[in-house]
Every structure is written in structure tokens, then in C-alpha cells.
């Protein structure tokens, strides 16, 4: 192994896993904030705003994340804007997650009966108060399982950041493999680390879905 012990390999991969988790957290938090803003705009304004947001969602959902990374990382420098691998990955994954979360949360809000809107309106609540006090608390319960499920997808999508040189788990595995010539061992350990991150989230999503199905109210 070229003087690399099993512990050396595991330590390097585990340390790189921190950057995978950090990138996932930033993309999920940033995407969630942006998605919430888009959700409020989508239900509170006219058709042209709704269509613009729908186009935004379709754009990011219908194009490969890898292409989006290339456009930011290689395209912006051509316009005189220097972008680091870290920034390109964070920005792309944030917009990517915002598009999916907007769609997930839109479906949850639309599943709330129209009578809830009408009832809260009859109480004199304005639009934002309706959302905050009546609609979103009910929609949140419906949205949590698919949101957690999407987080699993987002964690795995961070592996694409290795293509532009961001040193997360997959990129570090490539470097360690080149140094040790042990691809099966290295990538096997990477798979186990991803499993250790994603399986608890997947299991949580399934448990929440079952709980929601058993207690629809």
C-alpha cells in the first residue's frame, strides 16, 4: 500500500467525509431558505410569477447537475469571475436543492383543503398570516418524509463536486486510490461511509411515511 496503513486510508476518508456533510448541510439549508421564499411568492402573487418560478424549477430539475457545475466552474471564469471549486459546488447544489424542495413543498401546500384557506381568510388573516398560522403547520407534517428523502439524494449528489476538484469524500478517494493502488478497498470504504450517512436518513423517511399513513390527521 506504499506505506499507507488501513488506518491511514480510513482516517483520510473519514476526515473528507466532514466536507461532504458540510457541503450537504449548506446546500440543504440554503436551498431550503430559497425554496421557502419561492413558495411564498408562488402562492401569493400573479400567474406570471407562478410561471417564472415553475420555469426555474423545471430548469434545474430537467438539466444534469454535472452540467450546472460545469457552467458555473468553467463558464464564469470566461466572464472574468473567478469561482473556486468549493463555491461552485455550494452554489450549484443550493439552487439544485431549492428547485426540488420548492416542488416538494408546493405539493404539500396544495394538498391542504381549500376550506383551510377560506376559513383563515374569514378570520381576517392576511396571506402571510394564513401561511404561518394555518397552512404551513399542516403542510409541514406532509412534507417532512419526502424532504428527508430528498436530503439522502442531496448527500449522494455531492459526489459530483469531485469533478471540479472539490475535496469531498469521492475526490479524496480518487487521490488515496492513486497513492495506494487499492481501488477496491478504498471505494469499498467510501461506499460504507455513504451508507452510514444515508441509511439512517432513509430509514427515518420510511418511518415518517408509515406514521403519516397510519395517522392521516
CATH superfamily membership of 6-214: MetI-like (1.10.3720.10)
Each residue's pLDDT tens digit, 161-191: 999 989 899 999 999 999 988 999 999 999 9
Q: What is the pLDDT of residues 129-167, one digit of tens each?
A: 888 888 888 888 889 889 998 999 999 999 999 999 898
| Closest by Cα among 68, 134, 132, 137 to 100 | 68
The answer on pLDDT for 125 being more than 60 is yes
Q: What is residue 200's predicted lDDT score, i.e. its pLDDT?
A: 92
* Contact of 171 with 16, CB cutoff 8 Å: yes
Cell of 91: 452554489
In tens, the pLDDT along 59-95 reads: 999 999 999 999 999 998 888 888 899 999 999 999 9
Q: What is the C-alpha end-to-end distance of the chain, expressed in Å?
A: 57
How many C-beta atoms lie closer than 10 Å to residue 43's C-beta? 18
Query: What average pLDDT does range 193-202 have in this prediction?
Result: 92
Cβ(151)–Cβ(28) below 8 Å: yes
Q: What local confidence, expressed as pLDDT, does residue 217 receive?
A: 55
pLDDT in tens, 4-19: 788 889 999 999 999 9
Alpha-carbon span 19 to 161, nearest angstrom: 11
What is the per-residue DSSP string for 186-205?
Answer: HHHHHHHHHHHHHHHHHHHH
> Distance between CA 16 and CA 45 in Å, rounded?
43
**Burial grade of 217 (CB within 10 A; 0-12, 13-18, 19 or more):** exposed
**Complete DSSP assignment for 25-37:** HHHHHHHHHHHHH
Amino acid at each position: 500500500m506504499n506505506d499507507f496503513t488501513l488506518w491511514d486510508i480510513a482516517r483520510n476518508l473519514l476526515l473528507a467525509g466532514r466536507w461532504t456533510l458540510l457541503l450537504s448541510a449548506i446546500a440543504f439549508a440554503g436551498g431550503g431558505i430559497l425554496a421557502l421564499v419561492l413558495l411564498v411568492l408562488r402562492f401569493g402573487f400573479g400567474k406570471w410569477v407562478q410561471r417564472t418560478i415553475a420555469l426555474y424549477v423545471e430548469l434545474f430539475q430537467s438539466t444534469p447537475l454535472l452540467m450546472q457545475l460545469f457552467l458555473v466552474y468553467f463558464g464564469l471564469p470566461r466572464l472574468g469571475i473567478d469561482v473556486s471549486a468549493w463555491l461552485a459546488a455550494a452554489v450549484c447544489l443550493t439552487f439544485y436543492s431549492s428547485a426540488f424542495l420548492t416542488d416538494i413543498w408546493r405539493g404539500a401546500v396544495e394538498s391542504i383543503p381549500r376550506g383551510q384557506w377560506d376559513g383563515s381568510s374569514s378570520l381576517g388573516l392576511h396571506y402571510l398570516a394564513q401561511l404561518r398560522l394555518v397552512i404551513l403547520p399542516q403542510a409541514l407534517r406532509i412534507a417532512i418524509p419526502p424532504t428527508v428523502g430528498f436530503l439522502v439524494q442531496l448527500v449522494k449528489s455531492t459526489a459530483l463536486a469531485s469533478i471540479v476538484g472539490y475535496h469531498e469524500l469521492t475526490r479524496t478517494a480518487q487521490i488515496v486510490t492513486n497513492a495506494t493502488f487499492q481501488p477496491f478497498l478504498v471505494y469499498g470504504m467510501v461506499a460504507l461511509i455513504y451508507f452510514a450517512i444515508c441509511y439512517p436518513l432513509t430509514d427515518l423517511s420510511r418511518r415518517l411515511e408509515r406514521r403519516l399513513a397510519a395517522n392521516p390527521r
